[in-house]
């Protein structure tokens, strides 16, 4: 188990905190949580503001391959894969790698990159339709915080079941009260978030022995 910043080479997102804070109505939160067209390709206040492939995940895919010492033929699952950008880049940086994705969003999966068609499945993270130890590594980036705490525990148990000790999760967190305030003015979809200690307690409760890192809005 280690804290490791596998997204260090991802460009920082640009955020208009004031505009987002104004958009945090219960109606907008409910719309964002549908993970439909509005969330991915609608206005920035309600989600990504246009979730388009631009190659930014390529360096992250390289770092993931190195971190897990992946080889052709290994199997990797990206939990919360959205349109499959990371799945595509993992297979591009390591030809022969068998990468797959899983997401709850019908919209994202039906607007995926052509290279990953047939490799993405629709399911919810807390119940994964795969057998024990069926993957070399399981990743989940900025997804598990979208589950309520009991489901987040179940999802981590599932990751551990598929690839014991070979997980990586990145989740919303904050190290100071000031960072927490900034996060609260930005958050739309997250149902559970906490300081690192709270997350580590959750990891332990789930028996999760993989790696992790934090998304901190600044």
Ligand X SMILES: C[S@@+](CC[C@H](N)C(=O)[O-])C[C@H]1O[C@@H](n2cnc3c(N)ncnc32)[C@H](O)[C@@H]1O
Residues that bind ligand X (CB under 6 A): 35, 80, 82, 103-105, 108, 124-125, 141-143, 146-147
Which residue, 39 or 203, is less far from ligand X as judged by CB?
Answer: 39
Which residue, 35 or 183, is less far from ligand X as judged by CB?
Answer: 35
Q: How far apart are the first and last CA of the chain?
A: 26
Angle at 155 between CA 11 and CA 99, to 5 degrees: 55
Which residue, 73 or 123, is less far from ligand X as judged by CB?
Answer: 123
Give the whole-angstrom CA distance, residue 89 versus residue 196.
29
CB of 33 to ligand X, least distance (A): 8
CB of 35 to ligand X, least distance (A): 4
CB of 103 to ligand X, least distance (A): 5
Give the whole-angstrom CA distance, residue 169 versus residue 131.
20
Which residue, 10 or 21, is less far from ligand X as judged by CB?
Answer: 10
Which residue, 147 or 156, is less far from ligand X as judged by CB?
Answer: 147
CB of 108 to ligand X, least distance (A): 5
CB of 45 to ligand X, least distance (A): 15
Residue with token string 């987040």: 152
């Amino acid at each position: 188990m280690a804290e490791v910043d596998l997204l260090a080479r991802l460009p920082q997102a640009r955020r208009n905190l004031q505009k987002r804070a104004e958009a945090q109505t219960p109606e907008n939160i409910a719309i964002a949580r549908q993970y439909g067209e509005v969330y991915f390709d609608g206005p920035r206040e309600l989600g990504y503001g246009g979730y388009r492939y631009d190659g930014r995940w390529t360096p992250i895919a390289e770092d993931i391959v190195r971190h897990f010492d992946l080889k052709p033929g290994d199997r990797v699952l990206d939990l919360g894969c959205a349109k499959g950008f990371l799945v595509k880049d993992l297979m591009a940086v390591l030809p022969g790698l068998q990468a797959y994705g899983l997401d709850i969003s019908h919209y994202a999966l039906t607007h995926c990159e052509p290279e990953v068609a047939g490799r993405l499945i629709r399911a919810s993270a807390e119940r994964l339709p795969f057998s024990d130890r069926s993957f070399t590594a399981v990743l989940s980036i900025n997804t598990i915080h979208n589950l309520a705490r009991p489901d987040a525990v179940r999802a981590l148990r599932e990751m551990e079941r598929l690839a014991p000790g070979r997980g990586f999760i990145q989740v919303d967190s904050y190290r100071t009260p000031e960072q927490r305030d900034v996060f609260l003015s930005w958050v739309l979809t997250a149902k559970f978030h906490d300081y690192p200690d709270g997350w580590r307690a959750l990891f332990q409760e789930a028996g999760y022995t993989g790696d992790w890192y934090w998304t901190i809005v600044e």
